[in-house]
Structure 1
């Protein structure tokens, strides 16, 4: 894989990190503690708020996992291991990397 391709993947991953940051900023309010105020919110409304909070936390956890995958891809780029299967060492096809630059295995090893 040449430097131009690596730079393109690095730019794509940087954009993905920025999108994750924007999503975290939007989702922060949904993860706050749900207040118990029976005067302002009824029992069912509070249950809805708790469910929304749980979904926001799950979304935040998925974003954190994706962020970790992106940083791992940056580490592989720095170590000049990006684009190679972590199991067999063969080059991962660029079509697969185009779909998800964070993949660490070729199709054969991923399906095994």
Structure 2
């Protein structure tokens, strides 16, 4: 199957597009909510106790890690939507075969079939 052939039926493409758009909206909301938590805080010795400073630093680290993960996920979702529009969505990057619809419904941003993803 070539990248130009559509491995998905039109209703499957619509379901997956809707799921990707829902995920994108949810992720954008999460990123906006977490954006405020990622801002650096004033951790002067006079205003915050030692344990509170440590907790604040740990929280900032976790928030930064979450922001990085969300950024990667956002890029994956946008790329999946682009592939869907271009007609190359659902084609494994490893072997070139069609990715099973069941896998695409669970992992709509995937680039590989389960065989290639595990190797």
The two structures have a TM-score, normalised by structure 2, of 0.88
Give the Å deviation of 1:29: 2.2
Greater RCO (CA < 8 Å, at least 6 residues apart): 2
- Any stretches of 5+ residues in structure 2 without a counterpart? 1-7
The equivalent of 1:28 in structure 2 is: 35
Residue matched to 2:25: 18
1:73 equivalent to 2:80? Answer yes
Q: How many residues align?
A: 112
Per mean C-alpha deviation after superposition, the further-off stretch among 92-101 and 38-47 is 38-47
- 1:27-86 residue CA offsets vs partner (Å, 9 max, x unmatched): 122211120332221122111101101100100100000001101101111210111111
Q: What is the TM-score of this pair, normalised by structure 1?
A: 0.93
Contact 1:27 1:56 in 2 (8 A): yes
Establish whether residue 103 from structure 1 lines up as the match of residue 118 from structure 2. no
Would the aligned equivalents of 1:34 and 1:46 in 2 still touch at CA under 8 Å? Answer: no
In the TM superposition, structure 1's runs of 4+ consecutive aligned residues that sit over 4 Å from their partners are: none
Q: What's the counterpart of residue 4 of structure 2?
A: none
| Distance apart, 1:19 and its partner CA | 0.8
Superposition RMSD in Å = 1.1
Check whether the contact 1:13–1:70 (CA below 8 A) recurs between aligned residues.
yes
